[in-house]
Amino acid sequence: MQSEDVFHHFSPDGRPQMVDVSEKAVTVRVAVAEADIHMSRATRDAIVHHAVAKGDVLKVAEIAGIMAAKRTSELIPLCHPVPLHHVSVRIGEQALGEDEAVFRVRAEVRTAYQTGVEMEALTAASIAALTVYDMCKKGDRGISISNVRLVFKDGGESGRYEQGASGGSVRG
């Protein structure tokens, strides 16, 4: 059940609408999202040794994530176009096993605006992970993407959110 003070993407008569944020204060807002990319050890080795024919997989994916953050409002219905002041996407090795490897995408987005940048961070992490898949799919169709999640946000009326170490959340 939603309270009356919750913002809605539907008008009282049930029509879709972009939420009116014109009365909200401009505040600094930050969001961090992550995604995990699981692949074979051989694919990981090709990535880290720059042996993938399409180029430097991690750098291309990081650029793709940044570009995606900038276009989020074109991809997500009713999402506000937000002026982004900073976007960084980093992909690093998270786990290495005998047969499998996992890379983690971490996307951070900042703005000073009337609405948050959670969707931009989540979009950046997702598209970066999909780019790794696209660049490596010829050699490893078994690549999978998991755990796309918001791990941190701060700013605005709802304040701070931080994913807890046990997968829960901490609100401040």
Question: Is 25's pLDDT higher than 70?
Answer: yes
> What are 86's two structure tokens?
């900073």
pLDDT tens, position by position, 67-119: 999 999 999 999 999 999 999 999 999 999 999 999 999 999 999 999 999 99
Q: What percent of the chain has pLDDT over 90?
A: 77
| Catalytic member of 36, 45, 134, 154 | 134
pTM check: above 0.85: yes
Question: Is 169's pLDDT higher than 60?
Answer: no
Q: Look up tokens 């692949």; give the residue.
A: 39
Question: Is 21's pLDDT higher than 50?
Answer: yes
Q: What was the pLDDT predicted at 123?
A: 98
Instruction: Note if 134 is an active site residue.
Output: yes
Nearest to 118 by CA among 109, 126, 105, 130: 109
Alpha helix (H) residue ranges in the chain: 41-48, 57-70, 72-75, 118-136
Question: Is 7's pLDDT higher than 60?
Answer: no
Q: What percent of the chain has pLDDT over 70?
A: 91
Q: Report the distance separating Cα 101 and Cα 35, nearest Å.
A: 14
Domains (range + CATH), the chain:
27-153 (3.30.70.640)
